[in-house]
C-alpha cells in the first residue's frame, strides 16, 4: 500500500458530529450518555428551556503541518447539537453532568409524584 498526501483542510471543513446517545429510565432518575471522544468538557454546553434539554459540543480541528501529512485522516472536527424533550416528571433544576473517557453522562432526577391527600373539613 502506498501512502498518498492527504489534504486535511478540505476533508474536515463543515463536518458535523453525530454521536451515539443512550437514554435510560432508572428508578428515581433518567440517564443520558453520549459518546464524545476527543471533545473536552469545556467544549460542551448543556442547557434546558421550556422542557427541552439541549446538548451542544464541538471537536476542535487538529492543526497539522499539511506539507508533512501522509496517510488518511477520518476523524472529523465540527459541532453538533441534540435536543431531547424532558418527561413531565423530570426535575430540570436537578440535572448533573460529568464527562470522563469520552463519554458525557447526564443524570436527570425525577420529581416525586404528587400524592392524593384528604382535606379535613372544619365544623362551623
| CB neighbourhood size of 8 (10 A) | 19
pLDDT tens per residue, range 17-66: 677 899 999 999 999 999 998 899 999 999 999 999 999 998 887 776 66
Say how far apart CA 71 and CA 115 lie, in whole Å: 63
Edge-to-edge order in the sheet of strand 78-85: 44-49, 52-59, 78-85
Residue 11: pLDDT above 80? no
**Cα 23 to the chain's mean position, in Å?**
11
Confidence at residue 74, expressed as pLDDT on a 0 to 100 scale: 72
pLDDT tens per residue, range 78-95: 888 899 999 999 999 999
What radius of gyration do the chain's Cα atoms show? 22
Q: List the domains of the chain with CATH numbers.
A: 8-110 (2.60.40.790)
Does residue 14 sit in helix, strand or coil?
A: coil
pTM to 2 decimal places: 0.71
Amino acid at each position: 500500500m502506498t501512502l498518498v498526501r492527504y489534504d486535511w483542510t478540505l476533508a474536515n471543513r463543515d463536518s458535523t458530529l453525530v454521536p451515539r446517545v443512550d437514554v435510560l429510565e432508572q428508578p428515581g432518575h433518567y440517564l443520558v450518555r453520549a459518546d464524545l471522544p476527543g471533545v473536552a468538557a469545556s467544549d460542551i454546553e448543556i442547557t434546558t428551556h421550556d422542557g427541552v434539554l439541549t446538548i451542544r459540543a464541538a471537536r476542535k480541528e487538529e492543526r497539522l503541518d499539511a506539507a508533512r501529512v501522509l496517510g488518511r485522516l477520518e476523524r472529523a472536527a465540527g459541532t453538533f447539537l441534540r435536543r431531547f424533550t424532558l418527561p413531565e416528571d423530570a426535575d430540570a433544576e436537578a440535572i448533573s453532568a460529568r464527562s470522563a473517557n469520552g463519554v458525557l453522562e447526564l443524570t436527570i432526577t425525577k420529581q416525586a409524584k404528587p400524592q392524593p391527600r384528604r382535606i379535613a373539613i372544619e365544623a362551623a
